[in-house]
Structure 1
Amino acid sequence: MTKPGHGAAAVFAVIALALTLAGCSSGGSVEPIAQSPSETPTTTAASPFTTKGDDGQVKVVEKGLSATRKGAEELLSFGLVLENTNRKAVAFPKYAINLLDAAGKRLYEGEYDIDPPLSAPRILPGGRYGVGVTSSHPNPAKVADIRVVIIETEWVTSNDREQFAKLTAGPVRTERATASQRAAAETTSVTFTIDSAFSKPLLAVEMSAIFRNTARKIVGGARHLKRQDGMNSIHIPPGRSTHEMALEDDTPSSADDSRTEVYVFPFVFPPS
């Protein structure tokens, strides 16, 4: 069977096989500012933990999708939110995504990997993380739902190296590109703050965006937000900093851009 995908890449039942904690990620400019966050954080909860925890699991608490397009190219945009209900351990979940038709039947047989692969997020105890994807699809209108399967979860119960701390992506401002801007190769951008509880700068982070409609329902998402100057790393200093990132594709037409959320987790440990 021909695999759907972005160009020749096949994209749509996802197995996120990460758990390596080194590599590159998206980037943005940094400008420290002083004031406190003005909105409820959209990322992970605080993580004071020292003992082994077996009292929780990773759950899919929200999901949603929509068909969209980029010029003549048809796209499928989807997003989901994972929650770590364990209060004593950091979760690294591996998960798969299947596309379903209106009857609840899988549209494709076999496994289709995201290209590039999605990293397994690190979700702090009691925290949530949003995963978003927008990718080419031959007929996105056929996709009625997604099925998310948590394959397995690796748990980390010690913070003795201080590699886990709170990262909060704060208020997000989305500026959708106009037709003339898109013709000039400009893209929709998101500007947001990150509050880091790490005592040292982070050299690289993973980022996802979740798009919601006016009823707050998820209508899509984007992975690995791209820095406008094309750099592949982002440095997060301790405290608060601001970042402007570029989306490869516009947000879905049904999205309320004032409700865009950004989720962040470290891709490499801070230097010891």
Structure 2
Amino acid sequence: MWNFKPPFFRGTNQSRITWSATVRSSLTVWDNNYWLDINYLHIAKAALSCSAHFSAVFYAEIWCNYQRIKQEEALKKSSSLSEVVSQSFTQDSQVDSLSSVSGEVTLNVQDLLLEAYRQIGDPDGVYGCGAGRLPDPVSRIRMYEHEGQWEKAVITYDIGLQQHSQQEVDLLKALDSFGSKNLLDSYLENYPNPKSGAIRNLIFKSAIKVGKWDLNMDESSECSFDEAVHRSLCTLKHSQFSIVSTALDMARKNALDRLRDASMESCRCLYPILSDLQCIYQIDQAVRAITGFVLTEKENGLSYLYHQ
């Protein structure tokens, strides 16, 4: 059997402690905390896909710092560029220069940070990622949406629709956010009857906003939240109170399923779900008030007949 011991395991315990202390003192804080040789940009991309947006920003910044250190060390080796080192990584150009380095990943670091900050709801974080300087139309659109400039987003979507037909759903969502409810409804009125998907949800959402209750839509096995709310309001309009509760239960289940799967890193993603639950509560209260009024009228009528 081999009985080999490395030099740092030979000798007394005191010598081992001395060697360990010497090695630790020679390491930097960065070496002590980030000693694994891994690509943190891959971890940031995985965190973004899991809706862990704060973790995505954290690991993306670690990757940026690691790349910055490597580039600074490469620049310091050249004496002619020693003065450029302190000027090469300004706040405006650092992320732009590192974005080209992250080309081996499908989503580069600049797009990743923009998406993470947009999902977090940080009003200023996107500007630190160079959002206003990106020539990419998709990044421009995300910037317009972040700033609430829906008219510019609609125009940019319309221009890009000639090349990318998959942007149609995003264009319709932008029209909805822009407030063009009747224009959106007119567009969706002649749309082919979709069985599921984002277009179907938009049809029911638009119908609720414009008060259209006579949709000729085939019922889907997987009922979305907007479709369930539309069903509940239609049955409420026609005083079919026994069916309203069934539709509200479907809407409530959809909202609770989304709440269960939501990320706990940021409360911003919970706001739309809580708004949907509040909507269900308001409809339920309306049903209770109307049914209570109907029962009261019936009781008063029976009481009048009895006394007669």
Give the TM-score, by structure 1 length.
Answer: 0.23
Give the TM-score, by structure 2 length.
Answer: 0.21
Which has the larger share of strand?
Answer: 1
Which has the larger share of helix?
Answer: 2
Higher RCO, 1 vs 2 (CA within 8 Å, ≥6 residues apart)? 1
